Structure 1
Amino acid sequence: MSRTALIEAYLAGGETLRAAVAGLPRDQWTSLPGPGAWSILEVVCHLADSEALFTDRMKRVVVEERPPLIYADAAAFVAGLACPVRDLPEEVELLSAMRRQMARILEAQPESAWSRIGIHSRQGEQTLEQLLQKAIVHLEHHVGFIRRKREALVVM
């Protein structure tokens, strides 16, 4: 996939997430249907929190020399970062805004930036391009969970 296509796919993730939760009544945000132990709100909070991490990692890879990229425990984030009181549409907009900002930054990077490396504390060396690909796949993976959870809500 070309860099332009990668950035477009990354940018489209915000709308993909928005569409996945569109029309979901507030009383279903915290229901626990379908796959996984998290509610739809918890999945969306996880995506927003992860996006902040992906954005930070990509920015540091662009500007720092081989920066450390620290592992984050997703379950600890969901358990400890007050997901039940967070607002689902706000979390979607936060993710979308981070992606819009980061897309502009990525579009402005020279060719050489795409092979710059960060050192993940568990996964080792990761290029800017690999980080972008991971952010895209991560959102798509979790949107699949959201869709299956919504289908299970209809059956309930």
Structure 2
Amino acid sequence: MTETGQAAPDFTLQANENQTISLSSYRGKNVVLYFYPKDMTPGCTTEACDFRDYHPQFKQLDTVVLGISPDEVKSHDKFVAKHELPFPLLADPDHQVAEAYGVWVLKKMYGREYMGIERTTFVIDKQGKIAKVWTKVKVKGHVQEVLQFIQEELQA
């Protein structure tokens, strides 16, 4: 797992609306990088919509929100359109970025084991260092907690 104080691993991924996004292009801004398991599922939809609803506050704090899942770009396009998400969703189908951040893990559900995304959020500061990590995120109240951290810890 990538930890607080470390340089955030750089990446370039395809995103919705035919965008190509590199983390390094956001140097000088705070970045909320959240990994989620799957488009259109209840928890992931709630999380994305919470980030959408608080997007103006993040923007005021010079903070960019980026979501990453193993879904393909076509799935992201539908998810963004359906829920009017104002931030990019990045496709990591081969889970290389998830692995670089340590969030591609062995999961268990109903006695079955499989590899998948552990819902995790990273706040990356303007210098490209990881300022905070939330693992095994519980969606309810999470976005407000992330916003509060940025307000209190990253606003000089």
TM bucket (normalised to shorter chain) is: under 0.3
What TM-score comes out, normalization by structure 2 length?
Answer: 0.26
Structure holding more helix per residue: 1
Structure holding more strand per residue: 2
